[in-house]
């Protein structure tokens, strides 16, 4: 079960099906509506939901005061298409997914992020924007924060961090596609005086599935 990484795993399968030539276009996204009594009880008993903090603060990513996540609900869908196929039909292209990679294990997240970039023929210093999983669950956040800190130190570069979940909660299966859209919109609307063209997005499950997605803005 991919849990919170369901959307990322679905995108990984979709992209690979296009690379293999099985498909020219894939409609890929996620939908979640977990705001029910039963779902709330299950997540609370699992120890994942925000408890002690003032809920008005929302999710507190990478923060020692955090004590859990907040459920959100929603849906987002991407049209993934082979590049030349999109050009041939004059489709509007908002961004290119340079690569998507996945592995398993808390101690493998840093490696997965690096592998994603290597396979994209990018370097860490090329990344302008980083959208981490950062779900407010301290154990998970500590793992990711350490991986990012290691990369920052190793490559002497600190991408701009953004935390969309803080504003609308964790969308679980819909999170990966929503984060991709958020990253595209951020790159599109970035300060015109700065050059921001590439983003890296992390999507992680409680059990340790890691998904990293590298995208590049296309003007």
pLDDT tens, residue by residue, 148-172: 999 999 999 999 999 999 889 999 9
CATH assignment at residue 209: 3.40.47.10
Q: Which residue has the tokens 């493998």?
A: 108
User: What pLDDT, in 10s, does the model give residues 83-134?
Assistant: 999 999 999 999 999 999 999 999 999 999 999 999 999 999 999 999 999 9
CA distances from 219 to 81, 92, 187 (A): 17, 10, 10
Question: Exposed, middle or buried by CB within 10 Å (0-12, 13-18, 19+), for 5?
Answer: buried
* CA neighbor of 213 nearest in space, from 160, 176, 178, 185: 176
Quote the number of domains for the chain. 1
Q: Are 25 and 8 in contact (CB under 8 A)?
A: no
Helix (H) or strand (E) holding 42: helix 37-45
Domain of 155, in residue numbers: 3-217
| The token pair that represents 9 in the structure block | 């795993």
Residue 206 binned pLDDT confidence (cut-offs 50, 70, 90): confident
């Amino acid at each position: 079960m991919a849990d919170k990484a369901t959307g990322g795993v679905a995108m990984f399968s979709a992209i690979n099906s296009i690379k293999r030539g099985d498909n020219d276009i894939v409609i890929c996204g996620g939908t979640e509506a977990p705001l029910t009594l039963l779902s709330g009880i299950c997540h609370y008993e699992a120890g994942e939901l925000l408890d002690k903090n003032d809920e008005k603060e929302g999710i507190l990513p990478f923060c020692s005061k955090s004590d859990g996540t907040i459920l959100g609900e929603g849906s987002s869908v991407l049209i993934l298409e082979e590049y030349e196929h999109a050009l041939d039909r004059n489709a509007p292209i908002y961004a290119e997914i340079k690569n998507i990679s996945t592995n398993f294990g808390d101690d493998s997240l840093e490696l997965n992020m690096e592998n994603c970039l290597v396979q994209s023929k990018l370097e860490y210093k090329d990344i302008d924007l980083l959208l981490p999983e950062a779900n407010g669950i301290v154990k998970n956040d500590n793992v990711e924060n350490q991986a990012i800190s290691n990369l920052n130190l190793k490559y002497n570069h600190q991408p701009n961090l953004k935390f969309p979940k803080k504003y609308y909660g964790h969308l679980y299966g819909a999170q990966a596609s929503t984060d991709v859209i958020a990253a595209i919109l951020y790159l599109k609307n970035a300060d015109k005086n700065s050059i921001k063209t590439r983003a890296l997005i992390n999507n992680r499950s409680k059990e340790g599935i890691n998904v990293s997605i590298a995208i590049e803005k296309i003007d």
